[in-house]
Amino acid sequence: MTARPTRDPKKIRESLERERADLLALSDAAADERRPVTLDQQSVGRVSRMDAMQVQAMAQTVEARRRARLPLIDAALRRLDTGDYSYCVDCGERIPAKRLAIDPTIARCMDCAG
């Protein structure tokens, strides 16, 4: 059984704030993985260094996605503050609860999202 989409601003705010906090915590936890890989031929072989560089590249990509999500969350929180949440920022039409349940940061209706 799937959960019903909610329009409860308090629950939406809690969910968005929790996601924001989780993203920041994950970012802090993964900081070491994003640091430059040092060249030390004594302790790290060529293959190990390539593995470390691949881990670094993946961590940087994941961090970029986290950083791109944060402004969307902040904008949704601002819309909650102003009472504009769940209304399309372009046309002003109400965004269906099912659409917002998929991604609570959605700012446009289907027609305006294209």
Classified as helix, coil or strand, 94 is strand
From residue 4, how far is each of 1, 11, 81 by CA, in Å?
Answer: 9, 13, 23
Please list, in sequence order, all residues whose beta carbon lies within 8 angstroms of the beta carbon of residue 63, skipping any fewer than 6 positions away.
Answer: 27, 30, 34
Q: pLDDT for 40-83, tens place per residue?
A: 555 555 567 778 788 888 888 999 999 999 999 999 999 999 99
Contact 105, 16 (CB under 8 A): yes
- Tell me the pTM: 0.78
Q: Tokens standing for 48?
A: 């190990």
Distance of CA 4 to the CA centre of its chain: 22
